[in-house]
Amino acid sequence: MTQQFLDPIPSDVPLIAIDQREDPIFDKILSGLGARTQRKVLDVGDFICSVRLAIERKTRSDFEQSVIDGRLFSQLPNLVSNYTCVVIIVEGIANEERLNRNSLLGAYSSVIADYGASLIFTRDMQATAELVFHFAKHEQIAKKQPMRIYAKKKTHTPSQGARSIVESLPMVGPKLAKSLLSHFGSVGAVFNATEKELMQVDKMGKKKAKLIFDILKYEYNDEEDKFDI
């Protein structure tokens, strides 16, 4: 997937990318602390603070569930393969725990020792936002680190890499990406297809085909991209 960079402008205002699925209250808190925020559908992480630092936020209950169902240990390889500094924030006050103490300590140990991620506990969303803000400020203002938003999804074959590229098109998910590649045969052929040819793909539709065709043929404008991530 395409990586996009943003060099921070001379300023003491850090920019934080927030995943679309995170609670909107984070924008309000972070803005109040003095940050700029932009909402994106992030491939990995919930907050991106720089080219090298990503943060995954989990409530205590979600953290425990992600250990139980294995989701945490499928997320961590993608995080650490894209960002050299990975922080896992576990938010909330301990209540009724579904995992026993030994299981929790084992999970904590694995996050740190096996994946090299940092593990930090916060009491609530306010405390989480304050921590995210200071990470971003340290990275962008103190260390002058640039921003990278779209991380590369970890792929294992050329075909998976091709599907990942096609998935970056608007309104294209994994199933439609596979249909496009099966129909046209390659990423290049998909990108060179006419609007009429795109419409021949199963479950494409006129509106979606036009949107994809228009973005593929749109002439890049540097001014439009100046303040975007």
Mean pLDDT score across all residues of the chain: 86
Question: How much of the chain is in helix, strand and coil states, percent to nearest 5?
Answer: 45, 15, 40
Q: Is the pTM above the cut of 0.75?
A: no
Is 189 strand, coil or helix? helix
Is 55 strand, coil or helix? strand
164 vs 219 pLDDT, higher one: 219
Instruction: Give the whole-number percent of the chain exceeding pLDDT 90.
Output: 55
Tell me how crowded residue 75 is: count the other CB atoms within 10 A of its CB. Answer: 18
pLDDT bucket at 225, cuts 50 / 70 / 90: low
pLDDT bucket at 209, cuts 50 / 70 / 90: very high
| pLDDT tens per residue across span 92-142 | 987 767 788 889 999 999 999 999 999 999 999 999 999 999 999 999 999
96 vs 40 pLDDT, higher one: 40
| pLDDT tens per residue across span 64-95 | 999 998 889 989 988 988 899 999 999 998 77
Residue with the two structure tokens 């499928």: 74
Q: Which CATH fold topology does 158-217 show?
A: DNA polymerase; domain 1 (1.10.150)
Instruction: Give the whole-number percent of the chain exceeding pLDDT 70.
Output: 88
pLDDT at 150: 52
Which DSSP letter does residue 94 get? -
Task: Provide the phi-psi class of 62: left if phi over 0, else alpha when psi is between -120 and 50, else beta.
Answer: alpha
Residue 146 pLDDT exceeds 50: yes
CATH code of 5-148, in short, is 3.40.50.10130
pLDDT bucket at 149, cuts 50 / 70 / 90: low
Q: Where are the domains of the chain?
A: 5-148, 158-217
